[in-house]
Structure 1
């Protein structure tokens, strides 16, 4: 695909993920069109309900408006949504994370867009020990359920000749993100710990790598699977906390960590899952989560790992001193045309 002739529409271009994707595309010489995402409420309980809502008069009007915005666009990236892992479910959450993707896909089909990239989350697979690119989902919170519902409906709804790609982002960190600052603060505290032996792989990743990979998908000339997983950046749970906190974390007995999590999830369920988001972050800090190599690895589309550098930057803002060298490797060749 000739990059100078590619027009990419980005929904959520003012947000954390969307702004990074828009900047990466612009840096490659692509034409970028920021598009405002409509605010939607949804009361759907399952994918069938959601698809019916997507065909309602109000949703059809929203799709027609977006279709006009997508005129002449080659690729649509939907990075809009509500990133609220700690919050309870709401019509606004379901509307933003589940209904909107269906409407965007319908609008893209109306406008004759070649490809839609829907930013989803690896959280849809919940507590699975290994993340993969299958359609299997096990959401555990209101946020992950809204993302899971959006995936399920998007895979079922008709899209005409438009190719829809669901990109599951992992635990994305970056400058200025509150969750990254909170991670650095925790990593520098006496509470920083991992389940022994501390070598488990973690899905912690960088916004730089996510933006790079999204642009690669936008420019890829061949067909792409319906679900792709953001590539692993190679860090272990110990390496994440060491980079973010400037010192090695405490190693706790595995049985103690599992007992604490079991008790915590039980209490959270009694409180309407209010603690599920925080407990999941604690679980990832202790045990991490492995990733199965997928389409990106098969294509050789592996971004330069920058998660360690991003965490070091966050730690520097917290005033933490670092002792470990930054891990670097050459940036791979992109698929864009010259």
Structure 2
């Protein structure tokens, strides 16, 4: 018997890959989309389209009615103010939770895609444990942490909840890493000076595997990632090898200059809605963005190695004319 999934954010980078994965797995895919969304890919998959926004509880309720699982991926990663982040990522998630509780035939489970930004960077040279008090550095991170709390409002209605905290996501269709690939094509890579900084990342196909598995895994909050803490210079070197077959030239950027530039951008109002500013500089300079992956094996039994994922991403960028 086919299961029905409602996906918010299905027209986006991760959501599009998830819709493909679920459709291949025999799910009936239902997508909550804005009237302005590009739905070509979803229509090709045979997805059922429901028009609505995260501010429209009635539309979400109608879309969630009869679904087996709701995958809530829609979020703002760039916004002009903290209030806008909260409106989309916290209040929007609260509206999803309220809608699910109101549905005539309630979904069994909510899978909420959160972020490492919600828990904050590691400290003291070790991965941040899942039971530690979160310490988000940015408005985006604070709004995603509020979103986690809002998602828990489904539980009194008897709806199960899985929260997945993901690090930086890369892969075919991603635009966040694209500037780094383009710099690497020019054989250049800006690298902050100072102590070695380590990061977890996750290939988009691995993330959608974890999301799909979360429909039947134990409930709870989990971090998912490729289980390797990559030094940032090694990460950009791998991108360089994927693009040009060799490491790029590292351009040292002193931490003081990075922080000063962020403060100046904020003062002049040129932050591009969170693309860069003081908080973003602090995020870039954090000791490590790594997290405790306890329980992640059930969601992601095997992860794509960085070399393989970056090569596939570079290949896709070339086929699309992005590089």
Q: How does the TM-score come out when normalised to structure 2?
A: 0.74
Equivalences for residues 1-338 of structure 1 within 5 A? 4-36=1-33, 62-84=56-78, 87-89=79-81, 91-111=83-103, 112-129=106-123, 130-134=127-131, 136-155=133-152, 159-188=156-185, 189-193=187-191, 201-220=198-217, 223-225=218-220, 227-234=221-228, 236=230, 237-246=232-241, 247-248=246-247, 257-264=254-261, 267=264, 270=267, 274=271, 275-276=277-278, 278-279=280-281, 282-283=284-285, 288-297=288-297, 299=298, 301-316=300-315
Q: Which runs of 5+ in 2 are unaligned?
A: 37-52, 272-276, 319-323
Q: Contact conserved, 2:224 with 2:293, CA < 8 A, in 1?
A: no
Distance 2:283 2:172 in 1: 19
Could you tell me whether the CA contact under 8 Å between 1:10 and 1:34 is conserved in 2?
yes
Distance 1:60 1:119 in 2: 15
SS at match of 2:236: helix
Structure 2 CA distance, aligned partners of 1:123 and 1:175? 22
Structure 1 gap segments, 5+ residues each? 40-58, 320-338
**CA RMSD, aligned part only?**
3.4
Deviations 1:33-52 (Å, cap 9, x if unpaired)? 1123699xxxxxxxxxxxxx
User: 1:166 Cα shift?
Assistant: 1.8
**Structure 2 SS opposite 1:103:** helix
Would the aligned equivalents of 2:164 and 2:224 in 1 still touch at CA under 8 Å?
A: yes
CA displacement 1:1-44 (0-9 Å, x = unmatched):
xxx432111111111111111111112222221123699xxxxx
The 3 A distance-change label for structure 1 pair 300 and 148 is closer
Once residues 66 and 212 of structure 1 are traced to their aligned partners in structure 2, the CA distance between those partners, rounded to angstroms, is: 25
Superposed CA deviations along residues 148-179 of structure 1, whole A, max 9, x for unmatched, are 22223333576410012221121001223221
When residues 276 and 207 of structure 1 are mapped into structure 2, their CA distance, relative to the original with a 3 A threshold, is farther
- Structure 1 segments of 4 or more deviating over 6 A? none
Displacement of 1:307 in angstroms is: 4.1
